[in-house]
Amino acid sequence: MLTLIRSLARSPLIGGSIIILLIAAFSLWGINDVFRGGGTSAIIVGPEHVTVQDLRHSYDRQLFQIQQNDPRFTREQAEEIGLGDSIVQRVIAETAGDAKADELGLSISDETLYEALEDISAFQNPFTNRFDPQTYTSILRGNGYSGALPERRFEAEMISQLRRVQFTSASLGGLHAPDLFSEIRQAYAGERRSFRALLIPPTLVDEPETPDDDTLQQFIMDNPQSFERAEQRRLTLVRIQASDLLSDIEVDEADMRELYEFRLSNGELSAPATRSLTQWLAADQVTAEEAATRLTDGEAADAVMAELGLGEGVKLTEVQSYQVPDAAVADAAFELGVGDIQAVEGRLGWRVVRIDAALDPEIASFEDLEDELREELAGETAADRVLDALGAFEEARDTGASLEEAAAASGLFAERLGAFTATGYTVDGEPLSAMLDNPDILQAAFAAPLGFPTDLTDFGENGYFTLRVDEVIEPRLADLDEVRAQAEASWHTQEIDTRLQALVDQAQELLTEGVAMDAGAAELGEDARVESTTLGRQETDESFTAQIVAQAFGVPEGQRFESRAGDQTTRAIVEVEEVIPGVIAELSDADRTALNAEINNDATQMLNTALMNAYKVKADDNLIGQALGRTNPVQ
């Protein structure tokens, strides 16, 4: 099938027809709801429907972006922190906004959408600083927009977002924070507290003896979350990327120069030339030439034009050639420089043209772009070779060949990967680059059934993979010998902490009986000490960690609480001695702007909540589970 499609696409006649049909079906800025219609709805908000595919896309893209920063982040961890539920709530809020926008008849024109896309710097060609369709598509794919037409989905999301911004801006325009609110905020932010702490370090307790095997085994059983061996998988992987083939591809210089000339003729190598000009309509050639000569000699334009009867001049500012209505005037103007004046015969008669400003951007030379051109052409050749290899691979599989046999027949390589977990690491913590560098493959490895090859799936830049899970090693509690050192260290830390707690309890009894904190420290032992400080909410001071400061600002004056100081092994009993109110001052412009932004954010959240309450929300838990990867689709 791949071979047939590739052959058709390369045919000038058939390929052209396909492109024309695609353009007719999906014009660049037109069809915006390709992905909205049809399918089963996981969520219904008023008249708006969210399909399983829509919700899955939102979830997968958010997960993809997290994994770009942390490749070890798994779906299991995402589930633990409630990522899926937060995505569902966000989608419901956005869909409620879409429903209200529909109800109010709000719309976004193609021109507005195009302008918004043009303003996104990531989509611009670095040489021309203009919107570039290839860069646009590449950036979308690199940010989790997959499928044949990632642009359509992104544009639909952009339109929804712009419509919601229209509604929100109209609803909340002119909202400002009252002075009383700013005073309350300043009092809260400026408040300081004095507190002192009795510090009880681990050196106050005896060192525990080495635990026996029975003690360690029981410790492991009491703390299974720390000693569980996660599920592991072994698999066979076949993958290919265009980038893998670049080093073997030689590019002819003639082809590079041809591409350079093509891009040059299309104006892709620089920003467009512009002119600012003034033109006066003259009765005939003689008048036009006399006026041009006198202006060139330095006579005032108003006086010359009044004397010769040319009237008011027409100004055009920073226009490109095609924006000058008269082609003859345009041709002449773009041959002139700043300050030049010339009589020009246009389509509608003679004119006097003066160039007020000119911009002729420097065009990158072939030598400047040689590496880029070579990379582009090599990439196209590599992409063709990838399709060739995949075509041979699929044809071999269609005849019943195994992954290994099909790979050998198509010149690909079947990799055998040893046991690894869903984090992309072995149970011993060794990284597996094939998984860490390719989160799509890692995700597929733990979603695939045992023993069955997956379909070819795209990944990265012009890459494809298929895999077969050869073994699933179920999660289990580690044996003592596997984790002895870890278990001993953890048991030792816990035992020290338990003994310290006994000292903390003893100190609390002394303080409750009225013993001064300094005297209590002396009774506990030489290493116990008392420290004092005065801090604001966002400040710390050696032993007084952010945890202690946060607790101190949560209790009233005179109250004690227990916490951990320094490296968290030292225990602390802290008492708030004094609450010092913050000073109220006049807000700076920057602070008032920031405060108004916070007010608007809070109001936006309230508006979103009101919208969700305004529409009936129906959620199918089973379909939501499918979209989030929690359940299998209902057959």
Orientation of helix 12-25 relative to helix 2-10, angle to 10°? 100
Residue 542 CA to residue 531 CA, distance in Å, equals: 10
Report, at the CATH architecture level, how domain 232-242+389-474 is classified: Roll (3.10)
Q: Position 621: which residue type?
A: D
The edge-to-edge listing of strands for the beta sheet with 414-420 is 414-420, 232-241, 463-473, 457-459
Annotation: CATH topology of 31-175+604-627: Triger factor/SurA peptide-binding fold (1.10.4030)
Which pLDDT score, from 0 to 100, does residue 22 have?
A: 32
Selected residue with higher pLDDT from 243 and 51: 51
Selected residue with higher pLDDT from 183 and 205: 205
Report the phi/psi class of residue 82: left, alpha or beta, with left for phi > 0 and alpha for psi in -120 to 50.
Answer: left
* 94-116: pLDDT as tens digits: 898 888 888 888 888 888 888 88
Residue 595 CA to residue 591 CA, distance in Å, equals: 6
* 431-486: pLDDT as tens digits: 998 888 888 899 899 999 999 999 999 887 778 999 999 999 999 999 999 899 99
Q: Quote the percentage of the chain above a pLDDT of 70.
A: 91
Beta strands in 422-485 (DSSP E): 457-459, 463-473, 476-477
User: Contact 510/520 with Cβ under 8 angstroms?
Assistant: yes
The answer on pLDDT for 11 being more than 60 is no
The answer on pLDDT for 517 being more than 60 is yes
How many residues appear in the chain? 635
Residue of 74, 68, 98 lying closest to 168 (CA atoms):
98
Topology match between the domains 232-242+389-474 and 272-359: yes
- Domain 272-359 belongs in CATH node 3.40.50.170: no
Q: pLDDT band at residue 347, thresholds of 50, 70 and 90?
A: confident
Which pLDDT score, from 0 to 100, does residue 501 have?
A: 95
The answer on pLDDT for 395 being more than 70 is yes
Where are the alpha helices (H) located in 105-205, listed in sequence order?
Answer: 110-118, 133-142, 150-172, 179-190
Query: Span 584-600, mean pLDDT?
Result: 76
Selected residue with higher pLDDT from 296 and 582: 296
Which pLDDT score, from 0 to 100, does residue 68 have?
A: 76
Residue 328 CA to residue 331 CA, distance in Å, equals: 5
Which pLDDT score, from 0 to 100, does residue 27 have?
A: 34
* 145-187: pLDDT as tens digits: 766 577 888 888 888 888 888 877 777 766 777 777 777 878 8
The answer on pLDDT for 38 being more than 50 is no
Query: Span 353-381, mean pLDDT?
Result: 86
User: Contact 543/199 with Cβ under 8 angstroms?
Assistant: yes
Residue 304 CA to residue 291 CA, distance in Å, equals: 7
For the chain, the structural domain boundaries read 1-27, 31-175+604-627, 192-229+480-580, 232-242+389-474, 272-359
Q: Position 411: which residue type?
A: G
The answer on pLDDT for 23 being more than 70 is no
For 231-242, letters b (16+ CB in 10 Å) and e give bbbbbbbbbbbb
Residue 287 CA to residue 350 CA, distance in Å, equals: 9
Apex 626 CA angle, 625 and 631, nearest 5: 75
The answer on pLDDT for 93 being more than 50 is yes
